[in-house]
A and B are shown apart, each in its own frame.
Chain A
Amino acid sequence: MSNIIDKNKPLLQLQEVEIGFLYRGQYKAVVVDCSFDVYPGETLGLVGESGSGKTTIGRAIIRINPCHKGQIIFNGKRISGKLSAKDIQYVHENIQMIFQDPASSLNERATIDYIVSEGIDNYKLYQDKDERRRKIVDSILNVGLLTEHLSRYPHEFSGGQRQRIGIARALIMKPQFIVADEPISALDVSIRAQILNLLKDYQKETDLGMIFIAHDLSVVKHIADRIAVIYFGRIVELADSKELFERPLHPYTRSLLASIPLPDPELERKHKNVIYHPSMHDYAEDKPEFTEIFPKHWVYANRKELQEYRKRFQE
């Protein structure tokens, strides 16, 4: 398995993925027709409200949730569905996840040393004890914690520090890909900036591909190169982050943009809420499709809506 990265080849591909669960004996699809690519060194932001299925997609990538249709391809290899033990290990070594809630994602009864080293211990990613120690110390220093913290327990740390531990635990595997599931929504504003910078720095050094899941577009705008907006399990718009802010097409994207609180009392006084409800679409006859309306700007709309969108941005 080669670890050489081709920058122009997608690192991760989702192809028409559908994820569902059994609910009271009945199958219910939670995520439908989800396709996107992530390139090395790129961050894709997944934005949507709670219950929209963004975390489900993230969890499907690291194989916590099964895919029911379509496939997920990582470095040219299928990683969804049934895999050999060797391939599963390949996924675990190269794709890591940072969880949302630093309060509940760390084992309360384990020391930081154990929490951080669990991954490399499982797969014996070191030659000898010295190397193991070195790897742990490096990873903990990288995220701005101290070696003396290793013998402590999670409850001795603040929220921001706990999230750093979660990040150290992911980065120690030297992954090629990270799924960051709302890593900052439980943190204070000033600490948010520290965590965002930390992830961005690491990405610059290593060509890491990342999916950044959030419900807040302002955070995603800052960190992501491209943004996918999800509404009830379906990607409704996908574009470069600048493009999405300049030319939001789908009404749901517009409502998300309108709900970003701007630090400007003058503007906020004039603020109007844009409320989105799916009943505003008329999809009875004219069936919608996920279409590339402008270069690299995709939107889920029917023919009539596409015409409207084009007209709106003709000038």
Chain B
Amino acid sequence: METRKPILTVENLYVQFTVRGKVLTAIRDVSFELYDHETLAIVGESGSGKSVLTKTLMGMLDSNGRVSGGKIMFQTKRPTDDIKVVQPLDIADQKSAEKRDPEALEKEQEPAMIELTKFKNNKEWQKIRGKRIAMIFQDPMTSLNPLLRIGYQIAEVIHIYRKLSWADAKAEAIELLKEVGIPEPEKRYRDYPFQYSGGMRQRVVIAIALACNPEILICDEPTTALDVTIQMQILDLIKSLQKQYNFSIIFITHDLGVVAKMADRVAVMYSGKIVEYGTSRDIYYDPRHPYTWSLLSSLPQLGEKGKKLFSIVGAPPSLFKDIQGDAFAPRNPFALKIDFIEEPPLVKISDTHYALTWLLDERAPQLEKPSAIQNLHEKMLNYSRISKELKGDE
């Protein structure tokens, strides 16, 4: 990835919750970067902390939660008017430069750094949330207000955030509805959410998220509540909008099938940690962490007829306790003795591919990945008539 600049940098992030006097660590030492125009998928089971992570990025943690370590840096290319900006360069230098020639500085358009973890109150967050970082939630049934008309819910965002008049906001909202593929937007503008189907509601939610032309779009399982055919349409829509509007996407899901379509890079999360990350080719064709193996092999697409589908036994560990060794060890059929004692190191496999496992240690036994996920590409080519026909396109 040559010298691409990250738009969002998360460094050694820790997030803790206090529940009934006990401390729960939901995010443990997470670091990643999100680059311009790319799609980063965060994959994991429920309880792995992926939703907490996105809530942290949006400043929407519940009142008992807090960032207890690390920082989140957001690099915006848009004018920052009233937001407190941390410049990555020497600040004193910058100031003197400003005094000398303010116009020259403007021309440079050096992206401004904002440290999101320094934000204290909602007021500060509101300058970011929805405007620069927007979010699509999982359930389109509950993320729209059932009492308000669809059009109003979109126009409201434009009116408040972009300070357009109501008439202009309405025109813009209709344009957005058209953009996300709602037929007859002028008519449907006045409908209520219950008059829309699930897929159409999710389109509306996307329209609302795009209303302020965000730089980052966070999609929290946007299609799990939808039918497969609709799921494909929504995913295609998000992809084509990304091309058009040039935003970056953080895509949260538990389904590795969906990720293959969307992601440039993938981070696999388990009990609050990123256990493996790499480009999507790395993760699918050369997965190294046993948890990634497990997630992949439990996909029904890879199951063999008549054989048992691979399933991960047990449940994720309680996050109230300190975790000794590898958090996945008790459920890991490939666990080594050391996994229960010492935390595994982060091993670099290639420039883009890292995994947190003892299996990659030179002293570890050489293990083959499970047979279900070997020769993945050939298997998928033979999956159905349709996938075979795709092969013919080459």
Q: Residues of A with Cβ closer than 8 Å to B? A: 49-51, 158-159, 188-194, 196-197, 200, 215-219, 221-222, 241-242, 245-248, 254-268, 270-274
* Cβ contact within 8 Å between B236 and A49: no
A54 to chain B, nearest CB (A): 11
- New A-B contacts (10) at CB < 8 Å, excluding given A158-B315, A263-B259, A274-B386: A50-B227, A189-B254, A190-B254, A192-B300, A245-B385, A256-B228, A256-B229, A263-B257, A265-B263, A268-B260
**A49 with B260: CB separation less than 8 A:** no
Say whether B380 contacts A267, CB under 8 Å.
yes
Contact B393 A270 (CB under 8 A): yes
B311 at the interface (CB under 8 A from A): yes
Residue pair A263, B254 in contact (C-beta under 8 Å): no
Q: Is B85 an interface residue (CB 8 A)?
A: no
Is the Cβ of B300 less than 8 Å from the Cβ of A221?
yes
Contact A197 B311 (CB under 8 A): yes
Q: Are B228 and A193 in contact (CB under 8 A)?
A: no
* Shortest distance between the CB of A62 and any CB in chain B (Å): 23
Q: Which residues of A contact B232 (CB under 8 A)?
A: 258-259, 261, 273
Q: Which residue of A lies closest to B46 (CB)?
A: A188
**CB closest chain-B residue, reference A160:** B315
CA distance A268 to B45 in the complex (A): 23
- CA–CA, A51 to B255, complex, Å? 24
B301 surroundings in chain A (CB, below 8 A): 218, 260-263
Could you tell me if A263 and B380 are in contact, using CB atoms closer than 8 angstroms? yes
Instruction: Write the chain A residue with the least CB distance to B48.
Output: A188
Q: Which residues of A contact B255 (CB under 8 A)?
A: 189, 261
The residue from A50, A158, A262, A273 contacting B260, defined by CB atoms under 8 A apart: A262
Let me know if B384 is at the binding interface, CB within 8 A. yes
Majority secondary structure of chain A interface residues (helix, strand, loop or mixed): helix
Q: How far is the CB of B223 from chain A (nearest CB, A)?
A: 9
User: Could you show 20 A-B contacts with beta carbons less than 8 Å apart?
Assistant: A190-B312, A192-B300, A193-B298, A193-B303, A196-B300, A197-B311, A216-B300, A241-B305, A245-B384, A245-B385, A247-B385, A248-B384, A258-B232, A261-B260, A261-B301, A262-B301, A263-B260, A264-B284, A270-B393, A271-B390
Residue B261 interfacial (CB < 8 Å): yes
Interface residue from A245, A256, A263 paired with B302 (Cβ < 8 Å) = A263
Q: Which of B248-272 contact A (CB under 8 A)?
A: 254-261, 263
Residues of B within 8 A of A (CB): 45-46, 197-198, 227-233, 235-236, 254-261, 263, 280-281, 284, 294-296, 298-303, 305, 308-312, 315, 376-377, 380-381, 383-387, 390, 393-394
In the bound complex, what is the Cα–Cα distance between A51 and B232 (angstroms)? 18
Across-interface contacts of A188 in B (CB, < 8 A)? 45-46, 254
**A248-B385, A265-B284, A267-B380 known; A260-B254 Cβ under 8 A:** no
Tell me which residues across on chain A come within 8 A of B198, comparing CB atoms: 50
Question: What residues of A have a CB within 8 angstroms of the CB of B235 in the complex?
Answer: 261
User: Is the CB–CB distance between A197 and B308 below 8 Å?
Assistant: yes
B384 to chain A: which residues have CB within 8 Å? 245-246, 248, 257, 260
Residues of A within 8 A of B298 (CB): 189-190, 192-193
* Nearest chain A residue, comparing its CB with the CB of B394: A270
Asked if residues B257 and A218 are in contact (CB atoms below 8 Å), the reply is yes
CB distance from B296 to the nearest CB of A (A): 6
A261, B231: Cβ atoms under 8 Å? yes
B83 CB to closest chain A CB (Å) equals 37
Distance between Cα atoms of A140 and B263 in the complex (Å): 40
**For the complex, what is the distance from the CA of A215 to the CA of B229, rounded to whole Å?**
9
Q: Are A257 and B311 touching (Cβ within 8 A)?
A: no
Contacts of B385 in A (CB 8 A): 245-248, 254, 257
* A141→B31 CA distance, assembly (Å): 42
Which residues of the other chain, B, contact A260 by a CB distance below 8 angstroms?
228, 257, 301, 383-384
| Bound complex: CA A273 to CA B115 (Å) | 41
**Which residues from A are CB-within-8-Å of B311?**
190-191, 193-194, 197
Specify the chain A residue showing the minimal Cβ separation from B388: A246
Q: Are A265 and B280 in contact (CB under 8 A)?
A: yes
Q: Which of B236, B296, B315, B390 contacts A263 (CB 8 A)?
A: B296
Bound complex: CA of A257 vs CA of B315, how far in Å?
A: 32
Contact of A267 among B259, B308, B310, B387 (CB under 8 A): B387
Q: Are A218 and B300 in contact (CB under 8 A)?
A: yes
Q: How far is the CB of B111 from chain A (nearest CB, A)?
A: 29
Measured between beta carbons, the chain A residues less than 8 angstroms from B236 are 273
The residues of A that contact B229 with a CB separation of less than 8 Å are: 49, 255-256, 259
Q: Within the complex, which residue of A247, A263, A270 is in contact with B284, where a contact is CB–CB below 8 Å?
A: A263
